[in-house]
Amino acid sequence: MNMINTAYVPKFAVRKTERGYLSVVYFFRVGRTTFRGHLLGVAASWLVQVGIEIYRYVSRILKSEEEDTNRQNNCEQAKVLGKKVTGITIRCSASLICASIGAGIGACLIRPSIGQWIDCALGDLAGPIILTFCLEKALHSDL
């Protein structure tokens, strides 16, 4: 899979318009291109967030070893780390998917370059918020 620079994605949407695709095909192709372009940024965000959580976990473990606290606390902290990494992964995935869908919708309904850009940003912002809200209501858990 080729990685695409995010700055060129709106230009790709305009070129796809000129090819005269059906609306469904156009929606799919713009969404796919946006997915590829947005993937690198979301992966970097995920890596930084997970790295920060792992650093916090390791620093807590090292601090607790100095204070000679019990191992039960370490197991609980490992479970919390797993939940945090899962939450980060779900939110980043929702951001990527909703940004791609939003870009396809925006390119079809509004001008290709502006619609793709605006709806990609809206999907990127709204996707994790909506998914977190729905999962909290359905599963009664904190993400």
pLDDT in tens, 86-137: 999 999 999 999 999 988 888 888 877 787 788 888 988 998 898 888 888 8
pLDDT for res 53: 96
Q: Is residue 130 part of a domain?
A: yes
Give the Cα-Cα-Cα angle 76, 79, 83 (nearest 5 degrees).
140
- Residue 66, pLDDT above cutoff 90: no
Q: How many domains does the chain have?
A: 1
Domain boundaries, position 57? 18-139
Distance CA 22, CA 2 (A): 24
The whole model's pTM is what? 0.77
Q: Quick check: helix, strand or coil at residue 97? A: helix
Distance CA 7, CA 134 (A): 32
Q: Is residue 4 part of a domain?
A: no
Q: Is residue 69 part of a domain?
A: yes
Q: How crowded is the C-beta side of 88, counted as CA atoms within 13 Å? A: 19
Cβ(99)–Cβ(127) under 8 Å? yes
